[in-house]
Structure 1
Amino acid sequence: MLKLSGLGKRYPTGDRALTNIELTLPKGQVMALIGPSGAGKSTLIRCVNRLVEPTEGSVTLEGVELTRLSGQKLRQARRSMGMIFQEYALVDRLTVMENVLSGQLGYVGFWRSFLRRYPQSAVVEAFRLLERVGLPHALDKRADALSGGQRQRVGIARALLQSPKLLLVDEPTASLDPKTSRQIMRLIRELCAERELAAIINIHDVALAQQFADRIVGLRAGEIVFDGPPGELTSDILTTIYGEEDWDTTPEPEDNSVDERDDPTPPTPMARVAAGGAR
Protein backbone atom coordinates (compact mmCIF):
# COMPACT_ATOMS: atom_id res chain seq x y z
CA MET A 1 0.00 0.00 0.00
CA LEU A 2 2.68 2.51 1.09
CA LYS A 3 6.25 2.22 -0.12
CA LEU A 4 9.23 4.39 0.80
CA SER A 5 12.25 3.86 -1.42
CA GLY A 6 15.62 5.42 -0.69
CA LEU A 7 13.90 8.22 1.22
CA GLY A 8 16.25 10.88 2.53
CA LYS A 9 16.07 14.38 3.95
CA ARG A 10 18.92 16.86 4.26
CA TYR A 11 18.18 20.36 5.53
CA PRO A 12 19.77 23.49 4.02
CA THR A 13 22.07 23.66 7.06
CA GLY A 14 23.60 20.38 5.92
CA ASP A 15 22.05 18.39 8.76
CA ARG A 16 20.77 15.02 7.61
CA ALA A 17 17.47 13.92 9.16
CA LEU A 18 16.82 10.73 7.17
CA THR A 19 19.11 8.39 5.22
CA ASN A 20 18.03 5.75 2.69
CA ILE A 21 14.73 4.78 4.33
CA GLU A 22 13.25 1.61 2.81
CA LEU A 23 9.80 0.65 4.10
CA THR A 24 6.69 -1.07 2.84
CA LEU A 25 3.47 -0.77 4.83
CA PRO A 26 0.61 -3.11 3.87
CA LYS A 27 -3.07 -2.31 4.20
CA GLY A 28 -4.39 -2.57 7.75
CA GLN A 29 -1.01 -2.71 9.50
CA VAL A 30 -0.27 -0.49 12.51
CA MET A 31 3.41 0.45 12.58
CA ALA A 32 5.06 2.24 15.50
CA LEU A 33 8.14 4.41 14.96
CA ILE A 34 10.38 4.55 18.02
CA GLY A 35 13.73 6.14 18.69
CA PRO A 36 15.40 8.93 20.65
CA SER A 37 14.54 12.57 20.14
CA GLY A 38 16.05 13.81 16.91
CA ALA A 39 16.10 10.34 15.33
CA GLY A 40 13.91 11.50 12.42
CA LYS A 41 10.55 10.04 13.40
CA SER A 42 8.46 13.18 12.88
CA THR A 43 10.40 14.04 9.74
CA LEU A 44 9.62 10.64 8.25
CA ILE A 45 5.90 11.03 8.85
CA ARG A 46 5.90 14.52 7.38
CA CYS A 47 7.84 13.39 4.32
CA VAL A 48 5.05 10.91 3.57
CA ASN A 49 2.41 13.63 3.19
CA ARG A 50 4.95 16.19 1.93
CA LEU A 51 4.59 18.61 4.83
CA VAL A 52 8.37 18.19 4.71
CA GLU A 53 9.91 17.81 1.27
CA PRO A 54 12.25 14.82 0.98
CA THR A 55 15.52 15.49 -0.79
CA GLU A 56 16.01 11.95 -2.07
CA GLY A 57 13.96 8.88 -2.86
CA SER A 58 10.26 8.35 -3.40
CA VAL A 59 6.97 7.90 -1.54
CA THR A 60 4.35 5.77 -3.28
CA LEU A 61 0.80 5.30 -1.98
CA GLU A 62 -1.37 2.73 -3.75
CA GLY A 63 0.68 3.01 -6.92
CA VAL A 64 0.79 6.81 -6.99
CA GLU A 65 4.22 8.36 -6.50
CA LEU A 66 3.48 11.26 -4.17
CA THR A 67 6.94 12.78 -4.57
CA ARG A 68 6.14 13.57 -8.22
CA LEU A 69 2.88 15.40 -7.49
CA SER A 70 2.28 19.11 -7.07
CA GLY A 71 -0.57 21.59 -6.91
CA GLN A 72 -4.08 20.18 -7.25
CA LYS A 73 -2.93 16.59 -7.66
CA LEU A 74 -0.95 16.74 -4.42
CA ARG A 75 -3.91 18.28 -2.58
CA GLN A 76 -6.14 15.49 -3.85
CA ALA A 77 -3.62 12.83 -2.79
CA ARG A 78 -3.46 14.28 0.70
CA ARG A 79 -7.16 13.51 1.16
CA SER A 80 -6.23 9.86 1.50
CA MET A 81 -3.84 10.56 4.41
CA GLY A 82 -5.31 11.52 7.77
CA MET A 83 -2.94 13.34 10.14
CA ILE A 84 -3.26 13.23 13.93
CA PHE A 85 -1.02 15.75 15.68
CA GLN A 86 0.73 15.73 19.05
CA GLU A 87 -0.64 19.17 19.97
CA TYR A 88 -4.06 18.36 18.50
CA ALA A 89 -4.05 21.32 16.00
CA LEU A 90 -7.61 22.30 16.90
CA VAL A 91 -9.10 25.78 16.56
CA ASP A 92 -9.87 26.65 20.17
CA ARG A 93 -12.69 29.09 19.48
CA LEU A 94 -14.59 26.58 17.34
CA THR A 95 -16.87 23.86 18.66
CA VAL A 96 -16.04 20.19 18.66
CA MET A 97 -18.36 19.61 15.69
CA GLU A 98 -16.85 22.50 13.72
CA ASN A 99 -13.35 21.16 14.33
CA VAL A 100 -14.33 17.69 13.16
CA LEU A 101 -16.02 19.07 10.04
CA SER A 102 -12.81 20.91 9.17
CA GLY A 103 -11.58 17.47 8.10
CA GLN A 104 -13.65 18.07 4.97
CA LEU A 105 -11.51 21.05 3.96
CA GLY A 106 -9.72 19.00 1.30
CA TYR A 107 -13.09 18.22 -0.32
CA VAL A 108 -15.19 21.38 0.05
CA GLY A 109 -12.50 24.06 -0.19
CA PHE A 110 -11.69 26.97 2.09
CA TRP A 111 -14.69 29.23 1.48
CA ARG A 112 -17.34 26.56 1.86
CA SER A 113 -15.58 25.45 5.02
CA PHE A 114 -15.38 29.05 6.27
CA LEU A 115 -19.10 29.53 5.66
CA ARG A 116 -19.89 26.14 7.29
CA ARG A 117 -21.43 24.81 4.07
CA TYR A 118 -20.74 21.13 4.43
CA PRO A 119 -22.56 18.30 2.64
CA GLN A 120 -25.27 16.73 4.76
CA SER A 121 -23.55 13.38 4.39
CA ALA A 122 -20.41 14.83 6.02
CA VAL A 123 -22.43 16.21 8.93
CA VAL A 124 -24.10 12.83 9.49
CA GLU A 125 -20.71 11.10 9.40
CA ALA A 126 -19.27 13.66 11.86
CA PHE A 127 -22.06 12.85 14.31
CA ARG A 128 -21.35 9.15 13.88
CA LEU A 129 -17.61 9.60 14.42
CA LEU A 130 -18.11 11.68 17.56
CA GLU A 131 -20.29 8.88 18.89
CA ARG A 132 -17.58 6.35 18.03
CA VAL A 133 -14.78 8.26 19.77
CA GLY A 134 -16.92 8.80 22.86
CA LEU A 135 -17.79 12.49 22.53
CA PRO A 136 -21.47 12.71 21.48
CA HIS A 137 -22.19 14.90 24.51
CA ALA A 138 -19.49 17.45 23.63
CA LEU A 139 -20.30 18.43 20.05
CA ASP A 140 -21.28 22.02 20.99
CA LYS A 141 -18.39 22.59 23.41
CA ARG A 142 -15.55 24.89 22.42
CA ALA A 143 -12.30 23.04 21.85
CA ASP A 144 -10.52 25.03 24.55
CA ALA A 145 -12.95 23.62 27.15
CA LEU A 146 -11.81 20.03 26.57
CA SER A 147 -9.27 17.89 28.35
CA GLY A 148 -6.17 16.65 26.53
CA GLY A 149 -7.66 13.23 25.93
CA GLN A 150 -10.89 14.73 24.60
CA ARG A 151 -8.96 17.04 22.28
CA GLN A 152 -7.05 14.08 20.89
CA ARG A 153 -10.32 12.23 20.28
CA VAL A 154 -11.58 15.23 18.31
CA GLY A 155 -8.39 15.13 16.25
CA ILE A 156 -8.94 11.44 15.54
CA ALA A 157 -12.53 12.03 14.43
CA ARG A 158 -11.42 14.92 12.19
CA ALA A 159 -8.78 12.76 10.52
CA LEU A 160 -11.27 9.96 9.91
CA LEU A 161 -13.81 12.34 8.36
CA GLN A 162 -11.44 12.53 5.38
CA SER A 163 -12.10 8.82 4.74
CA PRO A 164 -8.34 8.22 4.61
CA LYS A 165 -6.52 5.10 3.56
CA LEU A 166 -3.52 5.87 5.75
CA LEU A 167 -3.23 7.45 9.20
CA LEU A 168 -0.11 9.43 10.11
CA VAL A 169 0.02 9.86 13.87
CA ASP A 170 2.63 12.10 15.49
CA GLU A 171 3.18 11.43 19.21
CA PRO A 172 -0.51 11.05 20.10
CA THR A 173 0.16 10.41 23.81
CA ALA A 174 2.99 12.83 24.54
CA SER A 175 0.81 15.22 26.58
CA LEU A 176 -1.47 12.63 28.17
CA ASP A 177 -1.45 10.71 31.45
CA PRO A 178 -0.78 6.94 31.36
CA LYS A 179 -4.42 5.82 31.52
CA THR A 180 -5.59 8.25 28.83
CA SER A 181 -2.58 7.32 26.68
CA ARG A 182 -3.64 3.69 26.66
CA GLN A 183 -7.23 4.60 25.90
CA ILE A 184 -6.16 6.73 22.92
CA MET A 185 -3.82 4.06 21.56
CA ARG A 186 -6.51 1.42 21.97
CA LEU A 187 -9.00 3.63 20.13
CA ILE A 188 -6.60 4.20 17.22
CA ARG A 189 -5.89 0.48 17.04
CA GLU A 190 -9.61 -0.41 17.04
CA LEU A 191 -10.46 2.17 14.38
CA CYS A 192 -7.68 0.92 12.12
CA ALA A 193 -9.02 -2.63 12.46
CA GLU A 194 -12.61 -1.54 11.79
CA ARG A 195 -11.68 0.43 8.67
CA GLU A 196 -8.71 -1.64 7.45
CA LEU A 197 -6.54 1.44 7.79
CA ALA A 198 -2.76 1.36 7.74
CA ALA A 199 -1.12 3.62 10.30
CA ILE A 200 2.32 4.99 11.12
CA ILE A 201 2.54 6.13 14.73
CA ASN A 202 5.51 8.13 15.98
CA ILE A 203 5.66 7.33 19.69
CA HIS A 204 8.18 7.68 22.51
CA ASP A 205 6.51 5.19 24.84
CA VAL A 206 7.99 1.81 23.96
CA ALA A 207 5.55 -0.06 26.21
CA LEU A 208 2.57 1.38 24.33
CA ALA A 209 4.23 0.60 21.00
CA GLN A 210 4.71 -3.02 22.03
CA GLN A 211 1.17 -3.38 23.28
CA PHE A 212 -0.75 -1.77 20.42
CA ALA A 213 1.37 -1.97 17.24
CA ASP A 214 1.71 -4.88 14.81
CA ARG A 215 5.21 -3.84 13.86
CA ILE A 216 7.93 -1.66 15.34
CA VAL A 217 10.52 0.31 13.38
CA GLY A 218 13.42 1.75 15.36
CA LEU A 219 15.24 4.83 14.09
CA ARG A 220 18.58 6.18 15.22
CA ALA A 221 20.27 9.19 13.63
CA GLY A 222 17.86 9.04 10.68
CA GLU A 223 18.49 5.38 9.83
CA ILE A 224 16.46 2.22 10.42
CA VAL A 225 18.22 0.02 12.97
CA PHE A 226 15.31 -2.33 13.75
CA ASP A 227 12.22 -3.50 11.86
CA GLY A 228 10.19 -6.34 13.30
CA PRO A 229 7.36 -7.54 15.52
CA PRO A 230 7.05 -6.23 19.11
CA GLY A 231 8.13 -9.56 20.57
CA GLU A 232 11.58 -9.26 19.00
CA LEU A 233 12.38 -5.97 20.72
CA THR A 234 15.05 -7.24 23.10
CA SER A 235 17.29 -5.40 25.53
CA ASP A 236 20.15 -5.53 23.02
CA ILE A 237 17.98 -3.97 20.32
CA LEU A 238 16.79 -1.25 22.69
CA THR A 239 20.45 -0.47 23.38
CA THR A 240 21.10 -0.25 19.63
CA ILE A 241 18.20 2.19 19.24
CA TYR A 242 18.60 4.33 22.36
CA GLY A 243 22.09 3.67 23.68
CA GLU A 244 23.38 2.01 26.84
CA GLU A 245 20.90 1.58 29.67
CA ASP A 246 20.05 -1.09 32.23
CA TRP A 247 17.02 -2.37 30.34
CA ASP A 248 16.70 -5.38 32.67
CA THR A 249 15.86 -3.27 35.72
CA THR A 250 12.16 -2.95 36.38
CA PRO A 251 11.27 0.67 37.25
CA GLU A 252 9.34 1.56 40.37
CA PRO A 253 5.61 2.01 39.61
CA GLU A 254 4.31 5.56 39.43
CA ASP A 255 1.48 6.82 41.63
CA ASN A 256 -0.66 7.46 38.54
CA SER A 257 -0.14 3.99 37.06
CA VAL A 258 -3.02 2.49 35.13
CA ASP A 259 -5.56 0.30 36.89
CA GLU A 260 -5.24 -3.01 35.04
CA ARG A 261 -9.02 -3.47 35.30
CA ASP A 262 -9.32 -0.84 32.56
CA ASP A 263 -7.32 -3.03 30.18
CA PRO A 264 -7.39 -6.82 30.49
CA THR A 265 -4.29 -7.22 28.30
CA PRO A 266 -1.17 -6.90 30.48
CA PRO A 267 2.04 -5.57 28.91
CA THR A 268 4.84 -7.95 28.10
CA PRO A 269 7.83 -8.13 30.49
CA MET A 270 9.97 -6.22 27.97
CA ALA A 271 7.21 -3.60 27.69
CA ARG A 272 7.30 -3.03 31.43
CA VAL A 273 11.07 -2.70 31.29
CA ALA A 274 11.04 -0.31 28.32
CA ALA A 275 8.37 1.91 29.85
CA GLY A 276 10.84 3.28 32.36
CA GLY A 277 13.87 3.86 30.21
CA ALA A 278 12.86 4.63 26.64
CA ARG A 279 11.49 8.11 26.91
Structure 2
Amino acid sequence: MSDSFHAATGGSSPLLAVEGLTKVYPTGKKALGGIDVVIDRPQLVAVIGSSGAGKSTFIRCINRLVEPTSGRILLNGEDIVALDRKGLRAARRRIGMIFQEYNLVERLSVMQNVLSGRLGYVGLIASLRWRFPPEDIQAAFALLDRVGLDGYHNQRADALSGGQRQRVGIARALMQRPDLLLLDEPTASLDPKTSRQIMRLVRELVAERQTPAIINIHDVALARAYADRIIGLRDGIVVFDAEASALTEAALTEIYGAEDWAPAPSEDDDEPALIGMRP
Protein backbone atom coordinates (compact mmCIF):
# COMPACT_ATOMS: atom_id res chain seq x y z
CA MET A 1 0.00 0.00 0.00
CA SER A 2 1.25 3.50 -0.79
CA ASP A 3 2.70 5.90 1.78
CA SER A 4 -0.28 8.21 1.27
CA PHE A 5 -2.64 5.46 2.46
CA HIS A 6 -0.50 4.80 5.53
CA ALA A 7 -0.46 8.49 6.31
CA ALA A 8 -4.24 8.73 5.90
CA THR A 9 -4.89 5.83 8.26
CA GLY A 10 -2.13 6.32 10.80
CA GLY A 11 -0.23 3.29 9.48
CA SER A 12 -3.06 0.83 10.17
CA SER A 13 -4.87 -1.18 7.52
CA PRO A 14 -8.10 0.62 6.53
CA LEU A 15 -11.43 -1.15 6.08
CA LEU A 16 -11.29 -0.36 2.35
CA ALA A 17 -8.48 1.10 0.30
CA VAL A 18 -8.88 1.73 -3.43
CA GLU A 19 -5.61 2.69 -5.09
CA GLY A 20 -5.08 3.77 -8.70
CA LEU A 21 -8.29 2.12 -9.90
CA THR A 22 -8.82 2.36 -13.66
CA LYS A 23 -11.32 0.84 -16.03
CA VAL A 24 -11.02 1.03 -19.80
CA TYR A 25 -13.67 -0.79 -21.82
CA PRO A 26 -12.82 -2.70 -25.04
CA THR A 27 -14.28 0.21 -27.02
CA GLY A 28 -11.50 2.40 -25.63
CA LYS A 29 -13.83 4.35 -23.34
CA LYS A 30 -12.11 5.19 -20.06
CA ALA A 31 -14.73 4.87 -17.31
CA LEU A 32 -12.33 5.31 -14.40
CA GLY A 33 -9.11 7.26 -14.66
CA GLY A 34 -7.19 6.37 -11.51
CA ILE A 35 -9.27 6.53 -8.31
CA ASP A 36 -7.84 6.62 -4.80
CA VAL A 37 -10.32 6.24 -1.92
CA VAL A 38 -9.81 5.20 1.70
CA ILE A 39 -12.59 4.25 4.11
CA ASP A 40 -11.11 3.80 7.57
CA ARG A 41 -14.26 3.75 9.72
CA PRO A 42 -17.93 2.74 9.45
CA GLN A 43 -19.72 5.48 7.52
CA LEU A 44 -22.24 5.98 4.73
CA VAL A 45 -20.39 7.24 1.66
CA ALA A 46 -22.44 8.60 -1.24
CA VAL A 47 -20.93 8.65 -4.73
CA ILE A 48 -22.47 11.33 -6.94
CA GLY A 49 -21.86 12.65 -10.46
CA SER A 50 -23.44 13.01 -13.86
CA SER A 51 -24.60 10.01 -15.88
CA GLY A 52 -21.50 8.41 -17.35
CA ALA A 53 -19.19 9.82 -14.66
CA GLY A 54 -18.20 6.31 -13.54
CA LYS A 55 -20.30 5.91 -10.39
CA SER A 56 -21.77 2.50 -11.17
CA THR A 57 -18.49 1.26 -12.63
CA PHE A 58 -16.69 2.27 -9.44
CA ILE A 59 -19.17 0.43 -7.22
CA ARG A 60 -19.13 -2.69 -9.38
CA CYS A 61 -15.35 -2.81 -9.65
CA ILE A 62 -15.10 -3.15 -5.88
CA ASN A 63 -16.71 -6.62 -5.96
CA ARG A 64 -15.51 -7.29 -9.52
CA LEU A 65 -18.90 -7.42 -11.15
CA VAL A 66 -16.91 -5.19 -13.50
CA GLU A 67 -13.27 -6.23 -13.90
CA PRO A 68 -10.83 -3.37 -13.23
CA THR A 69 -8.20 -2.64 -15.83
CA SER A 70 -5.59 -1.77 -13.21
CA GLY A 71 -5.24 -0.71 -9.60
CA ARG A 72 -5.80 -2.33 -6.23
CA ILE A 73 -8.89 -2.77 -4.04
CA LEU A 74 -7.98 -3.85 -0.52
CA LEU A 75 -10.75 -5.02 1.81
CA ASN A 76 -9.30 -5.43 5.30
CA GLY A 77 -5.89 -5.74 3.65
CA GLU A 78 -6.85 -8.36 1.03
CA ASP A 79 -6.48 -7.30 -2.61
CA ILE A 80 -9.77 -8.17 -4.32
CA VAL A 81 -8.28 -7.54 -7.77
CA ALA A 82 -5.58 -10.19 -7.31
CA LEU A 83 -7.92 -13.00 -6.23
CA ASP A 84 -8.57 -16.08 -8.34
CA ARG A 85 -12.13 -17.33 -8.90
CA LYS A 86 -12.29 -19.31 -5.65
CA GLY A 87 -10.83 -16.47 -3.63
CA LEU A 88 -13.24 -14.00 -5.22
CA ARG A 89 -16.23 -16.16 -4.27
CA ALA A 90 -15.04 -16.13 -0.67
CA ALA A 91 -14.43 -12.38 -0.73
CA ARG A 92 -17.89 -11.65 -2.14
CA ARG A 93 -19.41 -13.28 0.93
CA ARG A 94 -18.00 -10.32 2.85
CA ILE A 95 -19.44 -7.72 0.45
CA GLY A 96 -23.19 -7.19 0.53
CA MET A 97 -24.66 -5.82 -2.72
CA ILE A 98 -27.99 -4.00 -2.97
CA PHE A 99 -29.30 -3.29 -6.47
CA GLN A 100 -31.61 -0.71 -8.05
CA GLU A 101 -33.86 -3.43 -9.47
CA TYR A 102 -33.77 -5.47 -6.23
CA ASN A 103 -32.52 -8.72 -7.89
CA LEU A 104 -34.96 -10.84 -5.90
CA VAL A 105 -36.30 -14.22 -6.99
CA GLU A 106 -39.87 -13.11 -7.58
CA ARG A 107 -41.57 -16.50 -7.16
CA LEU A 108 -39.87 -17.19 -3.82
CA SER A 109 -41.04 -15.97 -0.44
CA VAL A 110 -39.56 -13.03 1.41
CA MET A 111 -37.91 -15.42 3.87
CA GLN A 112 -36.36 -17.51 1.11
CA ASN A 113 -34.96 -14.39 -0.54
CA VAL A 114 -33.47 -13.19 2.74
CA LEU A 115 -31.97 -16.59 3.53
CA SER A 116 -30.33 -16.63 0.08
CA GLY A 117 -27.79 -14.31 1.68
CA ARG A 118 -26.43 -17.39 3.44
CA LEU A 119 -26.19 -19.64 0.36
CA GLY A 120 -22.43 -19.21 0.24
CA TYR A 121 -22.09 -20.68 3.71
CA VAL A 122 -24.42 -23.69 4.02
CA GLY A 123 -23.16 -25.90 1.20
CA LEU A 124 -24.67 -26.90 -2.14
CA ILE A 125 -26.97 -29.73 -1.04
CA ALA A 126 -28.38 -27.85 1.94
CA SER A 127 -28.92 -24.73 -0.15
CA LEU A 128 -30.77 -26.66 -2.87
CA ARG A 129 -33.08 -28.07 -0.20
CA TRP A 130 -33.34 -24.71 1.61
CA ARG A 131 -32.01 -26.23 4.82
CA PHE A 132 -30.49 -23.55 7.03
CA PRO A 133 -29.26 -23.68 10.64
CA PRO A 134 -31.77 -22.46 13.25
CA GLU A 135 -29.52 -19.47 14.04
CA ASP A 136 -29.74 -18.33 10.40
CA ILE A 137 -33.53 -18.55 10.44
CA GLN A 138 -33.66 -16.61 13.71
CA ALA A 139 -31.33 -13.99 12.25
CA ALA A 140 -33.53 -13.68 9.16
CA PHE A 141 -36.64 -13.09 11.28
CA ALA A 142 -34.77 -10.49 13.32
CA LEU A 143 -33.62 -8.68 10.18
CA LEU A 144 -37.12 -8.68 8.69
CA ASP A 145 -38.36 -7.09 11.88
CA ARG A 146 -35.53 -4.53 11.79
CA VAL A 147 -36.21 -3.45 8.20
CA GLY A 148 -39.94 -3.10 8.86
CA LEU A 149 -41.19 -6.35 7.32
CA ASP A 150 -42.26 -8.28 10.40
CA GLY A 151 -45.01 -10.71 9.36
CA TYR A 152 -44.10 -10.64 5.66
CA HIS A 153 -41.90 -13.77 5.69
CA ASN A 154 -44.37 -15.93 3.75
CA GLN A 155 -45.27 -13.28 1.16
CA ARG A 156 -44.02 -13.84 -2.37
CA ALA A 157 -41.52 -11.25 -3.49
CA ASP A 158 -43.62 -10.31 -6.52
CA ALA A 159 -46.50 -9.28 -4.21
CA LEU A 160 -44.45 -6.51 -2.56
CA SER A 161 -44.16 -2.81 -3.31
CA GLY A 162 -40.89 -1.36 -4.57
CA GLY A 163 -39.93 -0.06 -1.14
CA GLN A 164 -40.70 -3.42 0.46
CA ARG A 165 -38.62 -5.24 -2.14
CA GLN A 166 -35.69 -2.95 -1.45
CA ARG A 167 -36.01 -3.70 2.27
CA VAL A 168 -35.84 -7.41 1.44
CA GLY A 169 -32.70 -6.73 -0.58
CA ILE A 170 -31.15 -4.91 2.37
CA ALA A 171 -32.02 -7.77 4.74
CA ARG A 172 -30.58 -10.31 2.28
CA ALA A 173 -27.30 -8.38 2.04
CA LEU A 174 -27.05 -8.12 5.82
CA MET A 175 -27.59 -11.89 6.14
CA GLN A 176 -24.11 -12.24 4.66
CA ARG A 177 -22.76 -10.46 7.76
CA PRO A 178 -20.67 -8.37 5.39
CA ASP A 179 -17.63 -6.22 6.07
CA LEU A 180 -18.84 -3.76 3.42
CA LEU A 181 -22.17 -2.82 1.84
CA LEU A 182 -22.45 -1.61 -1.77
CA LEU A 183 -25.66 0.03 -2.98
CA ASP A 184 -26.12 0.73 -6.69
CA GLU A 185 -28.82 3.41 -7.05
CA PRO A 186 -31.18 1.75 -4.53
CA THR A 187 -33.67 4.65 -4.57
CA ALA A 188 -33.83 5.30 -8.32
CA SER A 189 -37.10 3.39 -8.77
CA LEU A 190 -38.76 4.65 -5.59
CA ASP A 191 -41.00 7.60 -4.81
CA PRO A 192 -39.54 10.47 -2.73
CA LYS A 193 -41.04 9.42 0.60
CA THR A 194 -39.95 5.79 0.24
CA SER A 195 -36.49 6.92 -0.91
CA ARG A 196 -36.06 8.91 2.29
CA GLN A 197 -37.18 5.95 4.37
CA ILE A 198 -34.71 3.62 2.67
CA MET A 199 -31.84 6.10 3.06
CA ARG A 200 -32.71 6.63 6.72
CA LEU A 201 -32.76 2.86 7.26
CA VAL A 202 -29.38 2.38 5.58
CA ARG A 203 -27.83 5.17 7.65
CA GLU A 204 -29.17 3.64 10.87
CA LEU A 205 -27.92 0.16 9.94
CA VAL A 206 -24.44 1.47 9.16
CA ALA A 207 -24.30 2.96 12.66
CA GLU A 208 -25.86 -0.03 14.42
CA ARG A 209 -23.77 -2.70 12.72
CA GLN A 210 -20.62 -0.63 12.29
CA THR A 211 -20.52 -1.65 8.63
CA PRO A 212 -19.34 0.90 6.07
CA ALA A 213 -21.54 1.42 3.02
CA ILE A 214 -20.93 3.01 -0.38
CA ILE A 215 -23.98 4.17 -2.28
CA ASN A 216 -24.10 5.28 -5.90
CA ILE A 217 -26.89 7.86 -6.04
CA HIS A 218 -28.18 10.52 -8.43
CA ASP A 219 -30.23 12.46 -5.88
CA VAL A 220 -27.98 15.14 -4.40
CA ALA A 221 -30.61 16.10 -1.82
CA LEU A 222 -30.68 12.56 -0.44
CA ALA A 223 -26.90 12.34 -0.45
CA ARG A 224 -26.55 15.58 1.52
CA ALA A 225 -29.31 14.67 3.95
CA TYR A 226 -28.24 11.13 4.82
CA ALA A 227 -24.61 10.45 3.89
CA ASP A 228 -21.69 11.06 6.23
CA ARG A 229 -19.31 11.63 3.33
CA ILE A 230 -19.70 12.43 -0.35
CA ILE A 231 -17.40 11.52 -3.23
CA GLY A 232 -17.96 13.40 -6.47
CA LEU A 233 -16.87 11.86 -9.77
CA ARG A 234 -16.45 13.66 -13.06
CA ASP A 235 -15.21 11.82 -16.15
CA GLY A 236 -13.98 8.93 -14.03
CA ILE A 237 -11.92 11.11 -11.68
CA VAL A 238 -12.53 12.06 -8.04
CA VAL A 239 -13.05 15.83 -7.97
CA PHE A 240 -14.63 16.04 -4.50
CA ASP A 241 -14.21 13.95 -1.35
CA ALA A 242 -15.34 15.41 1.97
CA GLU A 243 -18.02 15.41 4.63
CA ALA A 244 -21.53 15.93 3.29
CA SER A 245 -21.76 19.34 4.95
CA ALA A 246 -18.87 20.55 2.78
CA LEU A 247 -20.77 20.03 -0.49
CA THR A 248 -21.10 23.66 -1.54
CA GLU A 249 -22.49 25.15 -4.74
CA ALA A 250 -18.91 25.55 -5.96
CA ALA A 251 -18.28 21.84 -5.35
CA LEU A 252 -21.48 20.92 -7.19
CA THR A 253 -20.32 23.00 -10.14
CA GLU A 254 -16.98 21.18 -10.09
CA ILE A 255 -18.79 17.82 -10.16
CA TYR A 256 -21.63 18.56 -12.59
CA GLY A 257 -20.75 21.78 -14.40
CA ALA A 258 -22.27 25.24 -14.20
CA GLU A 259 -25.86 25.41 -12.96
CA ASP A 260 -28.10 27.43 -10.65
CA TRP A 261 -27.90 25.35 -7.47
CA ALA A 262 -30.45 27.34 -5.46
CA PRO A 263 -33.07 25.04 -3.89
CA ALA A 264 -36.20 24.59 -5.99
CA PRO A 265 -39.43 25.77 -4.34
CA SER A 266 -41.27 22.97 -2.56
CA GLU A 267 -44.98 22.28 -2.98
CA ASP A 268 -45.02 19.62 -0.26
CA ASP A 269 -44.38 20.63 3.34
CA ASP A 270 -43.49 17.02 4.18
CA GLU A 271 -40.65 16.94 1.65
CA PRO A 272 -38.43 20.02 2.25
CA ALA A 273 -36.55 21.18 -0.82
CA LEU A 274 -33.59 22.54 1.15
CA ILE A 275 -30.91 20.14 0.02
CA GLY A 276 -28.72 20.77 3.04
CA MET A 277 -31.42 19.76 5.53
CA ARG A 278 -31.00 16.64 7.64
CA PRO A 279 -34.25 15.00 8.73
TM over 0.5: yes
Residue 143 of structure 1 pairs with residue 157 of structure 2: yes
Q: Is the 8 A contact 1:185 1:212 kept in 2?
A: yes
Aligned to 1:259: 270
Task: Report the alpha carbon displacement of residue 270 of structure 1 after superposing the two structures with TM.
Answer: 4.5
Question: Superposition RMSD on alpha carbons, in Å?
Answer: 1.5
C-alpha distance in 1, partners of 2:261/2:31? Answer: 27
- What is the number of residues matched between the two proteins? 263
C-alpha distance in 1, partners of 2:40/2:225? Answer: 19
3-state SS, counterpart of residue 94 of structure 1: coil
Q: Is the 8 A contact 2:102 2:165 kept in 1?
A: yes
C-alpha distance in 2, partners of 1:70/1:109? Answer: 20
Identity %, equivalent residues:
60
For structure 1, the residue ranges without an aligned partner over 5 or more in a row are 261-265, 273-279
Task: Report the alpha carbon displacement of residue 252 of structure 1 after superposing the two structures with TM.
Answer: 3.0
Residues 110 and 245 of structure 1: CA distance in aligned 2, closer, same or farther (over 3 Å): farther
3-state SS, counterpart of residue 136 of structure 1: coil
Aligned to 1:182: 196
Aligned to 1:130: 144
Q: Is the 8 A contact 2:17 2:74 kept in 1?
A: yes
Residue 61 of structure 1 pairs with residue 75 of structure 2: yes
C-alpha distance in 2, partners of 1:171/1:270? Answer: 18
> What amino acid is the match of 1:242?
Y
Task: Report the alpha carbon displacement of residue 108 of structure 1 after superposing the two structures with TM.
Answer: 2.1
C-alpha distance in 1, partners of 2:216/2:275? Answer: 19
Aligned to 1:276: none
Q: Is the 8 A contact 1:217 1:224 kept in 2?
A: yes
Residues 119 and 258 of structure 1: CA distance in aligned 2, closer, same or farther (over 3 Å): farther
Q: Is the 8 A contact 1:36 1:220 kept in 2?
A: yes
Bigger mean CA deviation after superposition, 118-127 or 145-154: 118-127
Q: Is the 8 A contact 2:220 2:275 kept in 1?
A: no
C-alpha distance in 2, partners of 1:32/1:200? Answer: 6
Task: Report the alpha carbon displacement of residue 109 of structure 1 after superposing the two structures with TM.
Answer: 3.8
> What amino acid is the match of 1:136?
D
C-alpha distance in 2, partners of 1:136/1:187? Answer: 15
C-alpha distance in 1, partners of 2:111/2:275? Answer: 40
Residue 228 of structure 1 pairs with residue 242 of structure 2: yes
Task: Report the alpha carbon displacement of residue 6 of structure 1 after superposing the two structures with TM.
Answer: 0.2
Residues 97 and 196 of structure 1: CA distance in aligned 2, closer, same or farther (over 3 Å): same
For structure 2, the residue ranges without an aligned partner over 5 or more in a row are 1-14
Aligned to 1:203: 217
Q: Is the 8 A contact 1:206 1:271 kept in 2?
A: no
Q: Is the 8 A contact 1:234 1:270 kept in 2?
A: no
Residue 96 of structure 1 pairs with residue 110 of structure 2: yes
Q: Which of 176, 185, 189 is equivalent to 1:171?
A: 185
Task: Report the alpha carbon displacement of residue 259 of structure 1 after superposing the two structures with TM.
Answer: 2.1
C-alpha distance in 2, partners of 1:157/1:203? Answer: 20
> What amino acid is the match of 2:58?
L
Q: Is the 8 A contact 1:208 1:271 kept in 2?
A: no
C-alpha distance in 2, partners of 1:150/1:29? Answer: 24
C-alpha distance in 1, partners of 2:64/2:223? Answer: 25
C-alpha distance in 1, partners of 2:84/2:102? Answer: 26
> What amino acid is the match of 1:253?
S
Q: Which of 21, 45, 52 is equivalent to 1:31?
A: 45
Q: Which of 247, 263, 271 is equivalent to 2:276?
A: 271
Bigger mean CA deviation after superposition, 29-38 or 71-80: 71-80
Task: Report the alpha carbon displacement of residue 110 of structure 1 after superposing the two structures with TM.
Answer: 4.2
Q: Which of 47, 70, 83 is equivalent to 2:61?
A: 47
Deviation digits for residues 70-129 of structure 1 (CA, Å, limit 9, x no counterpart): 122111111111001010000110000000011112212444222111122111100110
